[in-house]
Amino acid sequence: MKLIRFQLPSAAPKPGVQRADGSRIDVSGFGEDYNEHFFGTDGPRRLAEWLTDHEENCPQISAEARLVAPCARPSKIVCVGMNYAAHAAETGAQPPTEPVIFMKATSAITGPYDPIVLPKDSTKTDWEVELAVVIGKRASYVTEEEAMDHVVGYVLHNDVSERAFQIERGGQWVKGKSADTFAPLGPWIATADEISDPHSLRLWLKVNDEKVQDSTTADFIFNLPQCISYISRFMTLLPGDVISTGTPSGVGLGMKPNRFLKAGDVVELGIDGLGTSRQEVKAYQKN
């Protein structure tokens, strides 16, 4: 199942489903948004059962609707850094001996086609296509063998990063990762049954129609069970939480000379089975 969320002008976001033929239906009649309660109570299965009796009565989603992030704001976004061998090499870093983890503020979440807004004083805003995992069951001290039982689905994520804030301003990476609009998610969450092998997915990203990232998740340094098990040693993962699993080579920081986003640029990205997204880059403007 492909879970989407949409919003009509002057209305609150609602849950929907994208069907196999590409059509989109409003499933707000089910009575739940895609949040911690939904994912933690076997929501996708319950929704699928509900649809067997109610799908024909679900309205089509209007063409004027905006797709928003396919999960209601989770309790946290946990990211894995330097998790592709070629990406570590391009930045001159030694491959990590255990997963590098950092947090990204959930206030950074936006929809798949919303703009990226350069933060005030930004000079080095970068792109990062990533496979993100959505947790479906509370996870604390889980083993690698148990880890995938806690995954409810997968979603496309652009882990937008301001490198000057991240690297040159001291402290933790979270400062360079958490500006508003720095976490475009979607267009949909593909439930786990839709992705046969998350370790062999092609992922790519273009800037102004130039392909700059093109790799597969086979280049992971730490696979998904390793990442989930490792993170669960240090914090409890709750249903709906998002784990972003790292980016492949081809980021602006790794280019010689470096290349970063500027107002007017267009970023497009995609992952097998998870659709594509597109963000136009805009300059910061004080409200």
Give average pLDDT by consecutive 10-residue segment, the chain, 287 residues: 96 97 97 98 98 97 95 98 86 87 98 98 97 98 98 98 94 95 98 98 98 97 98 98 97 95 98 98 91
Tell me the residue ranges of DSSP E strands in 124-274.
125-126, 129-135, 151-158, 161-162, 183-191, 202-207, 210-216, 242-244, 266-271
Can you give the pLDDT at residue 115?
Answer: 98
- State the CB neighbour count (10 A cutoff) for residue 273: 16
- State the CB neighbour count (10 A cutoff) for residue 109: 24
Can you give the pLDDT at residue 62?
Answer: 92
Those residues whose C-beta lies under 8 Å from the C-beta of residue 22, and which sit 6 or more positions away, are: none
- State the CB neighbour count (10 A cutoff) for residue 148: 16
Note if the pTM is more than 0.95.
yes
Can you give the pLDDT at residue 150?
Answer: 98
Can you give the pLDDT at residue 205?
Answer: 98
**Which domains occur in the chain, in start order?**
2-68 (3.10.330), 77-282 (3.90.850.10)
Can you give the pLDDT at residue 93?
Answer: 76
Can you give the pLDDT at residue 170?
Answer: 86
Can you give the pLDDT at residue 90?
Answer: 81
3-state DSSP percent of the chain in helix, strand and coil, to 5: 25, 35, 45
Can you give the pLDDT at residue 105?
Answer: 98
Can you give the pLDDT at residue 88?
Answer: 77
Can you give the pLDDT at residue 94?
Answer: 83
Q: What residue spans of the chain are helical by DSSP H?
A: 36-40, 43-54, 85-90, 144-147, 163, 224-231
Name residue 67's beta-bridge partners: 6
Can you give the pLDDT at residue 81?
Answer: 94
Backbone angles phi, psi at 158, to 5 degrees: -100, 105
Cα–Cα nearest to 108, from 60, 198, 167, 180: 180
